[in-house]
Amino acid sequence: MSMIAGHRHSSSHAARKKVQISFVIRDKVEVCHRSAVNALQYDPALHRLFSAGRDSIIRIWNCNARRDPFMQSMEHHTDWVNDVVLCCNGRNLISASSDTTVKVWNAHKGFCMSTLRTHKDYVKALAYARDREQVASAGLDKTIFLWDVQTLTALTASNNTVTTSSLNGNKDSIYSLAMNAAGSLIVSGSTEKLLRVWDPRTGNKTMKLKGHTDNVKTLLVNRDGTQVLSGSSDGTVRLWSIGQQRCIISRRMHCEAANENWSRIFCGGRDGSVWVNDLRFQESVRLVCKEDAPVLRLLLTPDTSELYVATTNSHINSYSLGRRLLDQCFDEPLRNHTGASNNLHSDSPGPVSPKDVSGAASASLDNGGHSAQMNDCVLGNGVGEASDEEELPLLSGCDWTIPGGPSIRHAVILNDKRHVLTKDTDNNVALYDILKAVKVEDLGRIDFDQEKERRNRPIFVPSWFTVDLKTGKRDEVDCLSAWVSIRDAALHSPHDPTSYDIKINYGELLLKSLFEHWPRTYYHEDDDEAGNGGEMTPHNGTSHHHSPPGNQYFSIPPHTPLIISEVQGRTLYRLLCGDAGGETEGVLLQETVPPWVLDIVLDKTTPKPKNKVYFYLLPHPSSGIKRDKKDRLSANDFIQVRKVQEHVAEKVLNYGTNSNSDNSSNNNASSNTPTPTPNASGEDKENSLLPEDRVQLLCNDKVLDGNMDLRTVQHFIWGNVSQDLVLHYRPLK
Partner 1 sequence: MTALENSVKENTSSVGKGNITSMPGSHRGTGSGRLSLRGQKRTLSSDISPAPELRASHRIRTNSSGDGDSHKGVRGSSKGANAALSGSGGIIGIPYSHRAVQLGLRRNPSSTLSYTTNSIHLSSGGESVGSPGLAGGRVAGVCPLANLGNTCFLNSVLYALRFLPGFTHDLHHLHTHLQAARGEGDESVQHRVQFLSELHSVFAQLAKEESNVTEGKRLPALQPYPFLQALRVVNPMFEGNRQQDAHELLHCLLDQLCHLPQDLVKRDAVVKNLSNNASLLSPRPSSPPHKKARRRSERIQALEEDNSKAVDVVGSKFVGRMCLETCCSECEKVTGREETFLEVCVPVKTKADFDDDEPPSECEVFMSALCEEECLQGNNKYWCDACSHHNEARRSVHYPQLPHHLLIHVKRFSSYSRNMYTSKCSDAMPAPLHLACFCRTCLETQLHQQINSSYHSIVNSSTEMNANNSGTKSKVSSSIRSSAGNKQAKDATTHLPYELSAMVCHLGASLSSGHYMTYVRVSPELSSACVDQHGCVGGDYAPAAPTADAAPPANGSHAGISAASVPADSSECLWGDCCALKLDQILPQFSATSLTNGYASDVEAKSSQHKSTNKGAFTEGRNKQLGKSNSKAIASNAASASGFWLECDDEKIKMVTAAEVLDRMKGTLITPYLLFYSRISINSC
Say how many residues touch partner 1, by CB under 8 A.
Answer: 48
Smallest separation (angstroms) from partner 1 to the CB of 13: 20
Is the Cβ of residue 366 or residue 433 nearer to partner 1 in the bound state? Answer: 366
Is the Cβ of residue 76 or residue 254 nearer to partner 1 in the bound state? Answer: 254
Q: What amino acid is encoded at 375 in this protein?
A: N
Q: Are 27 and 70 in contact (CB under 8 A)?
A: no
Smallest separation (angstroms) from partner 1 to the CB of 351: 16
The reply to whether 384 sits near partner 1 by the rule CB under 8 A is yes
Binding mask 205-244 for partner 1 (x = CB under 8 A): ------x-x-x-----------------x-----------
Scan residues 123-142 and list those touching partner 1 (CB under 8 A). Answer: 140
Is the Cβ of residue 189 or residue 507 nearer to partner 1 in the bound state? Answer: 189
Binding mask 36-55 for partner 1 (x = CB under 8 A): ------------------x-
Q: Please list, in sequence order, all residues whose beta carbon lies within 8 angstroms of the beta carbon of residue 29, skipping any fewer than 6 positions away.
A: 73, 559
Angle at 626 between CA 620 and CA 627, to 5 degrees: 95
Q: Are 380 and 252 in contact (CB under 8 A)?
A: yes
Scan residues 408-467 and list those touching partner 1 (CB under 8 A). Answer: 409
Exposure class string for 345-358: b at 16+ Cβ within 10 A, else e: bbbbbbbbbbbbbe
Q: Give the span between the Cα atoms of 22 and 9, in whole angstroms.
A: 9
Smallest separation (angstroms) from partner 1 to the CB of 265: 14
Is the Cβ of residue 121 or residue 399 nearer to partner 1 in the bound state? Answer: 121
The reply to whether 66 sits near partner 1 by the rule CB under 8 A is no
Q: Are 351 and 268 in contact (CB under 8 A)?
A: yes
Nearest to 57 by CA among 37, 43, 42: 37
The reply to whether 175 sits near partner 1 by the rule CB under 8 A is yes
Q: Give the span between the Cα atoms of 421 and 452, in whole angstroms.
A: 7
Q: Give the span between the Cα atoms of 43 and 60, in whole angstroms.
A: 10
The reply to whether 17 sits near partner 1 by the rule CB under 8 A is no
Is the Cβ of residue 357 or residue 365 nearer to partner 1 in the bound state? Answer: 365
The reply to whether 247 sits near partner 1 by the rule CB under 8 A is yes
Smallest separation (angstroms) from partner 1 to the CB of 644: 43
Binding mask 135-174 for partner 1 (x = CB under 8 A): -----x------------------------------xxx-
Nearest to 601 by CA among 523, 527, 666, 655: 523
Select the span of 67-75, 280-288, 507-515, 683-691 touching partner 1 (CB under 8 A): 280-288
Smallest separation (angstroms) from partner 1 to the CB of 572: 18
Q: Are 238 and 265 in contact (CB under 8 A)?
A: no
CA 545 to chain centre: 37
Q: Strand runs (DSSP E) across 342-446, as ranges?
A: 400-402, 408-413, 419-424, 429-433, 438-444
The reply to whether 270 sits near partner 1 by the rule CB under 8 A is yes
Is beta strand 503-505 parallel, antiparallel or unpaired with respect to 227-232?
Answer: unpaired
Smallest separation (angstroms) from partner 1 to the CB of 79: 8
Q: What amino acid is encoded at 529 in this protein?
A: E
Is the Cβ of residue 35 or residue 505 nearer to partner 1 in the bound state? Answer: 35
Q: In angstroms, what CA-CA distances link 663 with 505, 656, 657, 673, 721?
A: 22, 12, 11, 12, 29
The reply to whether 33 sits near partner 1 by the rule CB under 8 A is no
The reply to whether 473 sits near partner 1 by the rule CB under 8 A is yes
The reply to whether 22 sits near partner 1 by the rule CB under 8 A is no
Select the span of 254-262, 332-340, 624-632, 722-730 touching partner 1 (CB under 8 A): 254-262
Binding mask 559-578 for partner 1 (x = CB under 8 A): ---------x----------
Phi-psi region of 130 (alpha: psi -120 to 50; beta: other; left: phi over 0): alpha
Helices (H), 335-431: 338-345
Q: Give the span between the Cα atoms of 725 and 716, in whole angstroms.
A: 11
Nearest to 129 by CA among 195, 178, 189: 178
The reply to whether 276 sits near partner 1 by the rule CB under 8 A is no
Smallest separation (angstroms) from partner 1 to the CB of 437: 21
Return the residue of 249, 435, 602, 695 that touches partner 1, per CB under 8 A: 249
The reply to whether 262 sits near partner 1 by the rule CB under 8 A is no
The reply to whether 529 sits near partner 1 by the rule CB under 8 A is no
The reply to whether 366 sits near partner 1 by the rule CB under 8 A is yes
The reply to whether 373 sits near partner 1 by the rule CB under 8 A is yes
Is the Cβ of residue 249 or residue 459 nearer to partner 1 in the bound state? Answer: 249
Is the Cβ of residue 427 or residue 555 nearer to partner 1 in the bound state? Answer: 427
Smallest separation (angstroms) from partner 1 to the CB of 173: 6
Q: Give the span between the Cα atoms of 496 and 190, in whole angstroms.
A: 65
Nearest to 559 by CA among 8, 4, 27: 27
The reply to whether 622 sits near partner 1 by the rule CB under 8 A is no
Helix, coil or strand: residue 144: strand
Q: In DSSP terms, which residues pair with 703 in a beta bridge?
A: 698
Exposure class string for 440-475: b at 16+ Cβ within 10 A, else e: eeebeeeebeebbeeeeeebbbbebbbbbbbeeebe
Select the span of 25-33, 221-229, 358-366, 713-721 touching partner 1 (CB under 8 A): 358-366
Scan residues 295-354 and list those touching partner 1 (CB under 8 A). Answer: 312
| Interaction site with partner 1 (CB under 8 A) | 35, 54, 80, 98, 121, 140, 171-173, 175, 191, 211, 213, 215, 233, 247-250, 252-254, 256, 258, 270, 280, 282-283, 294, 312, 361-362, 365-366, 368-370, 373, 384-385, 407, 409, 469-473, 568
